[in-house]
Amino acid sequence: MGARSSHTVDPVVSRRYSSESEAVLVVRRRPSMVNGGGFVVSNNKQQVVFRVDGCGVLGTKGKLLLTNGDGENLLLIRKMGGIVQALNMVHKKWEGFGYDKEGTERLVFTLKDPKDSCLVHNNNSSSIIILVHGKPKMLSTHKSYVEIKGSFTERDCNIMNSEGRAIAKVRADKEIEEEMVGNKTTDLYHVIVKPNVDQAFIIGLIAVLDYIHGESTIC
């Protein structure tokens, strides 16, 4: 067997959503007034591979659902709240749940809402840490981290593995951007995912970023 790619992270949702080559995915936001908001994700063949529904569709704030192109549920993402009595304040976090073969939910990642953390959250100085939980069939104590750096609102951020290597990037669609004279567009952008990286997991993180920044998935 060949050496494992330095960009590889263990699959979070499923290995079937990774590719041996780099994937350039196109994210297109849905208008909230037309179909409840959220966004769709297409591959280079213009096939819809993922959909994300937010509260405009689900009817519940702080809840996101990621499905594949066939409508199969992949990730249920919820915003949780917890009171830390010693500090007398509320810390909020996001939890992403995948599904096993029996349809039972399993926690796969945790992301602390940067609005409630000490992380700097402005322009390119932002940094968000995501705790990735290992599958029960692996080591129950296995945990790893990925980190998001950069500016999501500017469509210029990187998702890094624990070794500091980029496993995915969010970039503006330059061709569309150049056509918009003096006016930015955020309805269409690219997510570039490195080989052997779980694309469903990456899009799940993008869904949280979308909600945090008050974009297409929020009511």
The mean pLDDT value of the chain amounts to: 80
Report the alpha-carbon distance of residue 43 to residue 27 in Å, rounded. Answer: 9
Residue range 70-97, pLDDT digits in tens: 999 999 999 986 544 344 445 578 999 9
pLDDT at 94: 93
Q: Are 110 and 101 in contact (CB under 8 A)?
A: no
Q: Which amino acid is at 139?
A: L
Task: Kindly state the tokens that stand for 35.
Answer: 């179909």
Confidence of residue 68 (pLDDT cuts 50, 70, 90): very high
Type of residue at 97: F
Domain boundaries, the chain: 16-212
H or E element: which one contains 58? helix 55-58
According to the model, what pLDDT value does residue 6 have? 53
Q: What is the pTM of this model?
A: 0.83
So what's the pLDDT on residue 30?
87
Q: What is the pLDDT of residue 160?
A: 92
**pLDDT 10s digits, 131-141:** 898 654 443 44
Query: Which one, of 208, 205, 194, lies nearest residue 18 by Cα?
Result: 194
Q: Is 71 left (phi over 0), alpha (psi -120 to 50) or beta?
A: left
Q: What is the mean pLDDT of residues 156-172?
A: 92
What is the rounded radius of gyration, in angstroms, for the C-alpha atoms of the chain?
17
Among 99-108, 119-128, 151-160, which is the least confidently predicted range? Answer: 119-128
Give residue 36's pLDDT band: very low, low, confident or very high (50, 70, 90).
confident
**So what CATH class is 16-212?**
mainly beta
- Residue count of the chain: 219
pLDDT of residue 54: 92
